[in-house]
Amino acid sequence: MSVKAEEATGARRQLSRSRQWGRVEVLPAVVAAIAAHAATGCYGVHGMAARGLRAGFAELLRRESNHRGVEVRELADGLQVDVYVVVQYGVRITEVAHNLQGAVRFEVERTVGVPVVEVNVNVQGVYEP
C-alpha cells in the first residue's frame, strides 16, 4: 500500500474494541479533542497551533477547533499523539513540553483505555503579550 493510500485510510480509521455486549468505536478526532483539552489546561501553554506554519508564523486555533492541533496515529502497540502548541513567553519550554506529555498521555489513556506509546510536542510559536 502506498504512503498516500495509507494516510487516506488512516484518517478514516477508528479505534475499535469488541466487548461482550457489542463493539466500541472511537474516532481519531475524538482522541485529538481529548488530547487538545488536556494540552490547553497545562501551565505555560497559550493555545493550540495548526500543523505547519503560514509565512513563517504559527496559526493560533480557536477553542472549537483545537483538535486540529493534534495528530493521532494508531500503532501496533498503542497510539502516537503529535501535539502542536504555542507557549507563553518566559516559561521554560522543556518543562512545559514534559508536563504536556504527561498530561496528554494520562488523559488519553484514562478516557479511551488505549495505551499511548509516544507523545510528541511541537512548539510552533511563543506568545508575547
- Burial class for 76, CB neighbours closer than 10 Å (0-12, 13-18, 19+): exposed
Name the pTM for this structure.
0.83
pLDDT of residue 12: 43
Residues 2-13: pLDDT tens digits? 333 334 444 445
Domain spanning 28-127: which superfamily?
Cation efflux protein, cytoplasmic domain (3.30.70.1350)
Residues 35-64: pLDDT tens digits? 999 999 999 999 999 988 777 788 899 999
| Domain parsing of the chain, residue ranges | 28-127
Q: Give me the residue label for grid cell 483545537.
A: 66
Which segment, 62-66, 106-110, 111-115, is predicted with the most confidence on average?
Answer: 106-110
Please state, in angstroms and rounded to a whole number, the distance separating the CA atoms of residues 38 and 112: 13
